[in-house]
Amino acid sequence: MTHRKTRSNLFKKQIDFGEVNRLRYAQNTHVPVFRLPFELLGEAFLHLVESGLRDDGTRFATGTFSFLQVCRRWNEVAVSLPQIWGWWVASAVKA
Q: What share of the chain is helix, strand, coil (3-state, %, to 5)?
A: 75, 0, 25
- Span 29-73, pLDDT tens digits: 677 877 889 899 999 988 888 887 666 665 666 677 788 888 888
If phi > 0 it is left, if psi is from -120 to 50 it is alpha, else beta; for residue 85 that is alpha
If phi > 0 it is left, if psi is from -120 to 50 it is alpha, else beta; for residue 53 that is beta
Domain ranges of the chain: 1-30, 36-95
pTM of the model: 0.58
Amino acid 12: pLDDT: 65
Percent of the chain with pLDDT over 70: 58
